[in-house]
Amino acid sequence: MAILKIARMGHPVLRRVAEPVADPADPEILRLARDMAETMLDAGGVGLAAPQVHVPLRLIVFRVPQDRVGEGEEAAPGISILINPEIEPLGDETLLAWEGCLSIPGLRGAVPRHARIRYTGFDIGGNPVSVEAAGFHARVVQHELDHLDGVLYLDRMEDFGRLAFEEEMRRYHLPEPTEG
């Protein structure tokens, strides 16, 4: 496995729509997914999309740590690999929360996301996946799927007064954003 270089905001690969993976069971896709997972963990992230490592394919890896799970939600065990994913919002409710991105280091912004979603796609063996997710789990998947469509979390922000450097957030103990 290898640590891959992460594309930063400004690189054109982050603004392209990624191509579908032709064969989810291709050994090269498994190698890429493993390298992406290792890169994500090395960078301290919770999600990574293939375009973020300069590969314009519809592939994401993510994890939902227990300490990021809200009441009534479940952590996803280990690292999830999702190929050719799609999402469907489950209801109209949205939640506003801080997000960061490995491609935009050092910043966090308050981003509205669907509170509940269903995501579908394929696992690394080419088997169909269909999962309902809420809270942080839903947020991570939505964030990573945005990367597959050339969208950064900054594009989703409604108030740039809620954009801050992580260092300043820690220094001044900024709370979770609230709606309105």
d(CA 92, CA 40): 31
What residues act catalytically?
144
- Alpha-carbon distances of 21 from 62, 94, 145, 155, rounded to whole Å: 17, 30, 14, 25
